A and B are shown apart, each in its own frame.
Chain A
Amino acid sequence: MAQLEVKDLSLSYPGSRSGSTFLALDKVNVSIEKGEFVTIVGPSGCGKSTLLMLVAALLRPTSGAVQLNQKDVTKPGPDRALVFQDFALLPWRTVIKNVELGLELKKVPSAQRRKEALKYLDMVELGKFCNHYPHQLSGGMRQRVGIARALSVDPEVLLMDEPFGALDAQIRQVMGLELLRIWERERKTIIFVTHDIDEAVYLGDRVLVMSASPGRVIQEVKISLPRPRDLSLRNKAEFTAYRETIWNLLEKQVQANGAWRQDSALS
């Protein structure tokens, strides 16, 4: 049985005129196995973030359901941890206090909290920076704190919404490698939204390609590249072929519906 099931999930936002609604997601179906690394690409505004918010239960679906281990997900909780594009760190907390946040909300005693937080900070190689404040860190370091914070509650699923979107290309690659290393160690289920097709292919076991708004999953591309992966993969013919396939799928969506987001200009 799949660990996470998204069943006929639809979501309408209140529209611009009163009484009207805007259909953002239209009967999305996804099924994810435990320990799988799934990446999602799709045109801007197709509902990728909306999908993650629904899995996190920060939004309620209009119809359909999200199930984790066969149980309906109804409220947010530490079994699904989010990593945000804007990091969402609390500026008044030190790095370690930020990582402790989830444990603190779960009322874990402070000594144990600290121990756990340090463990994950070491994992993202920020052990030395535990008493720094977020503003004293670079963007890449901040997101590593965000990842440590998400991992600290030992979630079943890690939801990452363009986590490296605010970082420049080089740091992005380093972060991708680091995430793979952590994932290979922890074997968490990961749902990873990105605009970068290379990133999607490079990281994922499977790439979900979404349609333009209203969002649906139009295709799943299984990525059978060997693991552990490293950057040399990008020059392999198979890699290029996957990238080509996905690009073609997306291009159709973009031609059918407005513009492909500028910052997604492909590498």
Chain B
Amino acid sequence: MHRSLLAHRLAPLIVGLLSVSLFLLIWEIAGSTETVRSELVSYPTQILSAFKRLILSGELAQNTLISLREFGEGFAAAIVIGIACGVAFALSRTIRYLFEPIFVALYTAPIIVFVPVLVVWFGIGTTSKSIAVFLSAFIPIAINTTTGIEEISESWVRALRAFGASRTQIIFKAMLPGAIPSIMAGIRLAIGRGIVVLIAGEMYVSMSGIGRLISIYSVAPDGVPEIFVLVAVVATFGYVCVLLFSLIESGLTPWRSHS
């Protein structure tokens, strides 16, 4: 048990940390000794002090909160509506044939192109960005819900039907639980899409948010360290999101983690 814990959990972590530290060290030396031009690539300690500045000025907290809110609202709606659409598609051919073309179009089109229109409709505030997040995130969730339900075992549904289960009971007690792994895969896909459109949308047309900060610092003189901080914040957020949903998934699918 001890050995395997070390091998499976700790060893990759240690190796990972070592490689990251080594990378940071080389970057620090190269940047601070001006081996490469530091105003272009910056270096870790410089980035750290930019981080401090952003925190002390309150800019970071304020804009992070706004981005979080935009993402949270849009993504929550995407999960609820995405799953509902997915179920409707799985249950009704008609609904599916009616809406599938729109979905495919929305799925393949870069949602960022709708942001200017959304801003015209909903204003430059947070709503337009939430809706952009929603639009880009709910489709993979819907599609994966549909395929997840279509792929569940016929025998589960039959077992419920044999007991006289209602349609609603079949949806909530066989279809959705059976489709959870697929729905979760859709959600992971949606996280990436949502973050991209959020940051790009904020950079493009907005008054606030992390994306807005990035676009401000990208034209500011000596803004490179700040941009690195902001990129790290976005990356961390994406990572935490994925981790969170993986945890939720293993909580919801205890039968899979055992096998």
Residues in A lying within 8 Å of B, measured CB to CB = 56, 58, 75-78, 80-82, 84, 86, 88-92, 101-102, 104-106, 133-136, 153
Contact = CB atoms under 8 A, between A and B. Distances in A.
A135 B255 contact: yes
Interface stretch (B95-103, B125-133, B154-162): B154-162
A91 B181 CA distance: 12
B259 interface: yes
B19 interface: no
B163 A78 contact: yes
Contact of B174 (A76, A90, A153): A90
A68 to B, nearest CB: 13
Contacts of A82: 158-159, 162
B254 A133 contact: yes
Quick one: which of A76, A92, A102 has the most chain B CB within 10 A?
A92
B164 interface: yes
A105 B163 contact: yes
B169 interface: yes
A183 to B, nearest CB: 20
Nearest to B166: A105
A90 B156 contact: yes
Contacts of A78: 163-164
5 nearest A-B pairs in the assembled complex, by CB-CB distance: A88-B159, A88-B155, A77-B164, A82-B162, A133-B255
A180 to B, nearest CB: 23
Main secondary structure of the interface of B (DSSP, over half): helix
B178 interface: yes
Size class of the B contact interface (CB-based, 8 Å): 20 to 34
Interface string B194-219: 00000000000000000000000000
A101 B162 CA distance: 11
A96 to B, nearest CB: 14
A101 to B, nearest CB: 7
A113 to B, nearest CB: 13
Nearest to A153: B163
Interface of B: 153, 155-156, 158-165, 169, 173-174, 177-178, 180, 252-255, 258-259
A134 B254 CA distance: 11
A84 B159 contact: yes
A134 B165 CA distance: 21
B81 to A, nearest CB: 24
Nearest to A52: B162
A76 B167 CA distance: 13
B162 A58 contact: yes
A113 B156 CA distance: 20
Nearest to A84: B155
B163 A135 contact: no
B163 A92 contact: no
A134 B255 contact: yes
B177 A76 contact: no
A135 B162 contact: no
A145 to B, nearest CB: 11
A135 B258 contact: yes
